């Protein structure tokens, strides 16, 4: 499970106005030297951009639902959940994805090989990748919890950019244990205001997410899986296939090495025979 002193973000959907301040702040803070972010365009939906991308690590979802004949919006924050039991970390062969000492999932892009295993392993369908047309190299991108080298807010003692920019304070940042307690308090407050389905999401899911949600309805309505789990294929990759691959690779190298030594010994023996004095 996540540790009480890990860092976490609490998102309260009952307070969110979907102003997209967090979305804009994320893009502004995390721009790098690879060019401008993806430009938005009118797609006919309020959710804009319509999905995450290599340059869009956070987007606000607009979910229109009808209850008792009344239509209302349910807003949701779509980004990396920073799982404790993180499938992406388990399958990453180069350890480009790893757990930060404060619990969330950090990313060292410089050692990413673009294998895309993390894309398939994530139960929240978050990682996105782009391929360089000139080099053919693909690299993954996702939220780094504002710890990108050179843009690291957390190490400076600052809150993530999205939290800083939230006008209604629907986003809060602090120790995971404190955010869980505050989330539960917000759930009770919401229930007292008539939100009977209010629910804290992320306390137990995938052993604790470092982005917690106060929801006003079932997770599926917000685009979240009700029971996110690391797939059996991911577990098999980590516990069976990947170790077997390293074993086979090691045996192959060992075999090649022994083959070289045997061949070299035969060559030396042949030379010794050729140079031996004849009686």
Q: How far apart are CA 113 and CA 125, in angstroms?
A: 19
Query: Is the same domain home to 67 and 151?
Result: yes
Burial of 28: CB neighbours in 10 Å, binned 0-12, 13-18, 19+ = exposed
Q: Look at residue 1 in the predicted model and tell me its pLDDT.
A: 92
Query: Is the same domain home to 194 and 235?
Result: no
Query: Is the same domain home to 205 and 261?
Result: no
Query: Is the same domain home to 92 and 218?
Result: yes
Last residue of a domain, one of 197, 222, 247: 222
φ/ψ (deg, to 5) at 15? -100, -20
Bigger pLDDT: 279 vs 173 = 173
Q: How many domains does the chain have?
A: 2
User: What percentage of residues in the chain have a pLDDT greater than 90?
Assistant: 64
What domain range is 161 assigned to? 7-222
Mean local confidence (pLDDT), 13-17:
95
CB burial of 131-167 (b: ≥16 within 10 Å; e: otherwise) equals eeeeeeeebbbbbbbbbbeeeebbeeeebbbbbbbbe
Query: Is the same domain home to 113 and 18?
Result: yes
Which tens digits make up the pLDDT trace of 26-79?
999 987 544 444 566 777 788 988 899 998 999 999 998 887 888 889 999 999
Is there a domain that residue 83 lies in? Answer: yes
Is there a domain that residue 2 lies in? Answer: no
Mean local confidence (pLDDT), 157-179:
98
Is there a domain that residue 1 lies in? Answer: no
Is there a domain that residue 141 lies in? Answer: yes
């Amino acid at each position: 499970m996540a540790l009480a002193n890990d860092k976490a973000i609490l998102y309260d959907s009952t307070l969110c106005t979907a102003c997209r301040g967090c979305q804009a702040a994320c893009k502004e803070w995390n721009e790098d030297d690879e060019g401008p972010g993806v430009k938005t365009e009118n797609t006919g939906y309020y959710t804009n951009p319509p999905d995450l991308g290599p340059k869009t690590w956070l987007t606000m979802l607009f979910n229109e639902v009808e209850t008792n004949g009344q239509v209302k919006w349910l807003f949701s924050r779509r980004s990396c959940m920073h799982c404790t039991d993180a499938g992406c970390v388990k399958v990453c062969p180069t350890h480009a994805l790893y757990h930060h000492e404060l619990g969330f999932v950090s990313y060292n892009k410089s050692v990413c090989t673009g294998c895309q295993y993390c894309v398939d392993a994530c139960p929240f369908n978050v990682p996105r990748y782009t391929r360089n047309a000139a080099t053919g190299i693909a690299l993954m991108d996702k939220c780094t919890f504002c710890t990108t080298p050179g843009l690291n807010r957390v190490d400076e003692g600052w809150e993530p950019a999205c939290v800083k920019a939230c006008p209604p304070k629907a986003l809060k940042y602090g120790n995971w244990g404190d955010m869980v307690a505050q989330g539960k308090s917000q759930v009770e407050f919401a229930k007292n205001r008539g939100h009977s389905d209010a629910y804290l999401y992320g306390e137990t899911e995938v052993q604790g997410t470092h982005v917690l949600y106060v929801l006003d309805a079932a997770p599926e309505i917000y685009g979240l899986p009700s029971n996110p789990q690391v797939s059996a294929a991911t577990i098999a990759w980590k516990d069976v296939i990947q170790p077997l691959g390293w074993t086979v690779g090691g045996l192959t190298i060992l075999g090649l090495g022994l083959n070289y030594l045997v061949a070299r010994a035969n060559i030396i023996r042949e030379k010794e025979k050729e140079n031996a004095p004849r009686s």
